[in-house]
Structures are given as C-alpha cells and as structure tokens.
Amino acid sequence: MAREPKRDPVGLEAIEGQPRAVALLRRALAARRVAHAYAFVGPAGSGRATTARAFARTLLCETDAGCGRCRPCALVAAGAHPDLHILVPTPPPTNPRGARAIRIDAVRELERQAALRPALGRRRVLIVDEADRMTGESPEAFLKFLEEPPPDTVIVLVLPHARAVPATVLSRCQVVRFAPRDGGRPAGALDEATALLETARADGVAALLRRTDRLDRAGAEAVLDGLRLHCRDLLLARAGAPPALLTDPGRGAQVAAEAARCSIARLVEAAEACRRAREALVHNVTPRLTVETTVLRLLATTS
Ligand SMILES: [Zn+2]
C-alpha cells in the first residue's frame, strides 16, 4: 500500500471542530505567553492528542509557526524530534497483557530528560497521553515535577475529564477544553467503524482504502474506539446478552448473526488487537494504515 509520506501530524490550522481550544492556544503563542503546563480535557476521539502534537510542532518550529517545512517540523512529523517526549501508559514489565498505567519509572525518566538542555531548539515539549492512568506514586511524583517546572519545558496532559487527576495537579495546568465530536455519542464512532467494516466486506479492500483516504489522526482514534465497541458488542452477543446491553440495541439481530460466526476466544483476540492498535496510534505516523489493518483483521475474524 503506497502512502504519501508525512501527512501527519498536522499543524494547528488543520485541527477541525475545536475552534475554542485552537483559538486559546493561538492567543498564547501570539502573545508569547505559553504556560508551563496544559491539561487538554475532553472525550476520546475529540482530537486532544492530535492537537497536542500540532501544538508541539508549533512550539518546536524554527519559524514559530509550525511551518511544516523546517527540520524540527519534519522531525516532529516523523516522530523523531529529540525534544518532543510522548509518555503513554504501558503494561507491567512482567505481564504484557496486564493493566496499562503511567508508571513511576516513566515519570522519573521524564524528569531526568527534562533536567537536560533541549537538544535542538529553545524548548522541550512533554505530552502525557491518558494522564489519568497515573498509578501508585506517579501522581505525587508528577506533582513535584509540576511544582518546580523545568525551564524551557511545556507539559501537556491529555485527560478524559478534569477530575481524572488530583486537583493539586490540575491547579498547576491551564485547562483547555475539547468538545465531544458527533455530539458525544459513542454510537457516532461505532457507526463509522461498522460502516468501514461493511465497505470492506461488501466492496473489498480498494473500497476500504478509498473510504479511509481522508482519515486524520483524530478520526482514526474515533474509528478504533468504534471498532473496540463493536468487538465488545460482539462478545456480549456471543455470550447470549440481550440486545438492550449493546451500544445500539437496534442492531441486535445483525450483531448476533455476526457474533455467531466466531468463537469467544477469537473475539477476545480481536478486541485485544483493537486495543493495541489504539495504543500504538499515539506513536504511529500512519494512523490510516493502523485503521485499515485493524478493520481487515476484524473482518477476517468475523467472516
Ligand atoms: Zn517549522
């Protein structure tokens, strides 16, 4: 599958559907009053992580505009800028299938990196995705880090809601709110995900690729969330749950028919693949490809 290179991440100008959040960040950049720490708060699929990367690109750009042409911009797009650190929850080192968390070791490593001078430019940007998954001593260590912010460092926490971290942490961040996409209906993501599955099933891979052509990172996040919901519904149906328990009870018969074609073990595997794909998206420079392979995998499971 040929891909035009580096369409992603985009600059702030290409963030859709979040005019207030983008305007707030633009004002801070224009006034040269960028805060030490931000909390990007909103539901999954609302574009928080995409905006965090676009903001990082602007902060690290040689022209301060996120031009997309200078070396720092290219490095951010390739996921290789030495002054951009993205922390994501990871499973326990001893159990790759265990619960994912932002662990104390990772927070300490981040602190260590932040104590060094930026490698390329004037600043360093640290993004903590799913910052609500800080466990054990992590929130406390992170709070200390925020209390003595390292110079030339901008920290962005990505959160589902404001109460997802201790108030002491949030109070040190400028909160940027992200409105839900699709009016916040999880069914919106589910509809898009099942539409992609249907396209691939009925019209083949080429049709799927045409349909994913315009998918940006936030769209890819939403589709993968939708695919995960679909797997969960299939599992429920396969276990004999009534349609009322499904995300969209109106699709009960269709979901039950699809679920009947596969084993619970294979559905669990598919759900796990969706989760891993969603996780990988954070570091991934080809969100489209991730969506396409996940759709095709799920299709193979239920055919
Ligand atoms: Zn640039």
Distance 123 CA to ligand 1 centre (A): 14
CB count, 10 Å around CB of 199?
18
Distance 66 CA to ligand 1 centre (A): 4
Distance 59 CA to ligand 1 centre (A): 9
Q: Supply 72's token pair.
A: 């720092």
Query: Which amino acid is it at 210?
Result: R
Distance 33 CA to ligand 1 centre (A): 19
Distance 50 CA to ligand 1 centre (A): 17
pLDDT of residue 35 exceeding 90? yes
Residue 268 confidence (pLDDT): 92
Helix, strand or coil, per DSSP, at residue 185:
coil
**Global model pTM greater than 0.75:** no
Distance 104 CA to ligand 1 centre (A): 33
Distance 75 CA to ligand 1 centre (A): 10
* Cβ contact 273:266 at 8 Å: no
Residue-wise pLDDT for 263-299, tens only, equals: 999 999 999 999 888 888 877 768 888 899 999 998 8
CB count, 10 Å around CB of 210?
11
Q: What separation in angstroms does the CA of 258 have from each of 30, 227, 236?
A: 53, 14, 12
Measured CA to CA, the distance from residue 159 to residue 180 in angstroms comes to 13
Tokens 């662990």 identify what position?
Answer: 103
Backbone angles phi, psi at 158, to 5 degrees: -105, 120
Helix, strand or coil, per DSSP, at residue 206:
helix
pLDDT of residue 5 exceeding 80? no
Distance 142 CA to ligand 1 centre (A): 30
Provide CATH 1.20.272 ranges for the chain: 183-301
Confidence of residue 10 (pLDDT cuts 50, 70, 90): low
Distance 73 CA to ligand 1 centre (A): 4
Q: Supply 171's token pair.
A: 């109070």
* Cβ contact 153:123 at 8 Å: yes
Query: pLDDT: is 154 or 49 the higher one?
Result: 154
Residue-wise pLDDT for 189-242, tens only, equals: 888 888 888 888 888 888 888 888 878 787 888 889 889 999 999 999 999 998
Mean pLDDT of 85-92: 88
12-179 domain in CATH 3.40.50.300?
Answer: yes
pLDDT of residue 89 exceeding 70? yes
> What is the DSSP track for 79-94?
T--TTEEEE--B--TT
* Cβ contact 60:120 at 8 Å: yes
Provide CATH 3.40.50.300 ranges for the chain: 12-179
Confidence of residue 2 (pLDDT cuts 50, 70, 90): very low
Query: Which amino acid is it at 39?
Result: A
Distance 38 CA to ligand 1 centre (A): 22
Determine whether 107 is exposed, middle or buried from the number of CB atoms within 10 Å of its CB (0-12, 13-18, 19+).
buried
Confidence of residue 114 (pLDDT cuts 50, 70, 90): confident
Architecture of domain 183-301: Up-down Bundle (1.20)
Helix, strand or coil, per DSSP, at residue 191:
helix
Cα R_g (the chain), whole angstroms:
20
Mean pLDDT of 248-266: 86
